[in-house]
A and B are shown apart, each in its own frame.
Chain A
Amino acid sequence: MSSFIGPIAAMVVNVLAQIILFRGRRGTQYFGSIIQAFLLGAVTLLIGEAFFISSSAAVSERLFLALAVNLPIYLGLSYCYFNFVQLGQTSIRLRIYSEIMAHAAGVMISEIEREYDEKGLTEVRLQRLRESGDVIERDGNHFIGRTRLLHIANVIFAAKHFLLRKKSEFD
């Protein structure tokens, strides 16, 4: 029998655990709650799959299903969930839209530009990158610190060049 219940159950555990952990800590340790909830979901999936494998006659087929199908489904859904939550946390587009929606008469462009001052946002980003160690400041100059974001940036920019034939949306 085909079993797709495992990754769904694991996702339910992941989402509920993340909300409970995040709220329980009064909004602190956001990334910690994401990782811990993901691991809890993964453990749920492994337990479920182990149960199915032990009770199945076709062990190798069941093991393949668990590793090559259900695990990628869980990873994919977790990735989607992480991005969904992240969108609600940091998306400028969403914040601007919700502010415009909240005012029936609309919002002045100058007000948006003042609230979302590009220079201020750049400073916030630099500060965040310095705090995470991705950027290092030395003698007034900024350098790359940890290279993890650089690897992601290189992959994204290569994909953009391949798919859209340009290097930036501002090209």
Chain B
Amino acid sequence: MKIFLTSVGLFLFSFAVHLIVWRYKLPKHHIKSLLVIFAIVFCLWVFGAIIYSWGLLETVHIGLFYGSMTLSYVITYSAIEADSPTLSLIRFLAEAKGNGRTVSEVSQFMAQRPFVRARLSALALSGLIREEGSRFIAVGPQPLSFRVILGFRKLYGPISRGG
């Protein structure tokens, strides 16, 4: 019960802090800011747990539960922050109800949402690439997160055209 209540309480507290910050001002880097907020709350709690002599195993268990909830939320948030082309398309079709949408209407709708250009801008905003004349150039070394994902992807072989 203690593990459950503490983990859920910590998560809800972090979520409340995140909501307050977001209402005050939207940060430039949403995911980074989210991770920082959730990490600070957890670190402060760990500090308290050490002072009040909580058991190590119990603390690790709470960390695992809290971490699992936090990462799940951050992943879901990334889908909230950036539009999914597929889900946007689904909603567009649903709005037409029984009339349906022709291919040209779908193309026109998607043309108003340049997803590829938006992803390039997001990469540039995160400082991973920069635009130089008519080219995009990678900046600095590949971040660890990308290396892990790309390395793991090799296990799956060539990937289909996606997005």
Provide the bound-state CA to CA distance between A92 and B86, in Å. Answer: 13
Provide the bound-state CA to CA distance between A90 and B136, in Å. Answer: 21
B91 touches which of A64, A119, A125, A154 (Cβ 8 Å): A154
Provide the bound-state CA to CA distance between A83 and B73, in Å. Answer: 12
Provide the bound-state CA to CA distance between A110 and B116, in Å. Answer: 12
> What is the interface size of chain A, counting residues whose CB is below 8 A from a CB of the partner?
78
Q: A2 and B75: CB pair below 8 A?
A: no
Q: B100 and A142: CB pair below 8 A?
A: yes
Interface residues of B in 126-163 (CB under 8 A from A): 128-129, 131-132, 134-138, 142, 146, 149-150, 152-153, 155-157, 159-163
Q: B4 and A100: CB pair below 8 A?
A: no
Is B53 among interface residues, defined by CB-CB distance under 8 A?
no
Scoring A94, A97, A140 by chain B CB atoms within 10 A of each residue's CB, the highest score goes to A97
Q: A156 and B100: CB pair below 8 A?
A: no
In the complex, which residues of chain A have a beta carbon less than 8 angstroms from the beta carbon of B26?
Answer: 164
What's the dominant secondary structure at chain A's contact region? helix
| Nearest B residue to A89, CB-CB | B159
Q: A109 and B135: CB pair below 8 A?
A: yes
In the complex, which residues of chain B have a beta carbon less than 8 angstroms from the beta carbon of A152?
Answer: 87
| Nearest A residue to B30, CB-CB | A164
In the complex, which residues of chain A have a beta carbon less than 8 angstroms from the beta carbon of B79?
Answer: 156
Is B120 among interface residues, defined by CB-CB distance under 8 A?
yes
Q: A19 and B87: CB pair below 8 A?
A: no
| Nearest A residue to B119, CB-CB | A93
B149 touches which of A69, A80, A87, A142 (Cβ 8 Å): A87
In the complex, which residues of chain A have a beta carbon less than 8 angstroms from the beta carbon of B111?
Answer: 118-119
Q: B118 and A107: CB pair below 8 A?
A: no
A22 touches which of B55, B75, B156, B162 (Cβ 8 Å): B156
Provide the bound-state CA to CA distance between A3 and B62, in Å. Answer: 11
Provide the bound-state CA to CA distance between A68 and B69, in Å. Answer: 13
Is B106 among interface residues, defined by CB-CB distance under 8 A?
yes
In the complex, which residues of chain A have a beta carbon less than 8 angstroms from the beta carbon of B106?
Answer: 122, 126, 142
Give A19 Cβ to nearest chain B Cβ, in Å. 6
Q: A153 and B80: CB pair below 8 A?
A: no
In the complex, which residues of chain A have a beta carbon less than 8 angstroms from the beta carbon of B123?
Answer: 93, 96-97, 100
Q: B93 and A159: CB pair below 8 A?
A: no
What residues of chain B have their CB less than 8 Å away from a CB belonging to chain A? Answer: 1, 3-4, 7, 19, 22, 26, 55, 57-58, 60-61, 64-65, 68-69, 71-72, 75-77, 79-91, 93-94, 96, 98-103, 106-107, 110-116, 118-120, 122-123, 128-129, 131-132, 134-138, 142, 146, 149-150, 152-153, 155-157, 159-163
A-B CB proximity, top 6 nearest: A141-B100, A90-B162, A76-B68, A106-B137, A88-B153, A106-B135
8 additional A-B pairs beyond A61-B1, A135-B93, beta carbons within 8 Å, are A2-B57, A2-B61, A90-B159, A94-B150, A106-B135, A140-B103, A149-B87, A156-B80
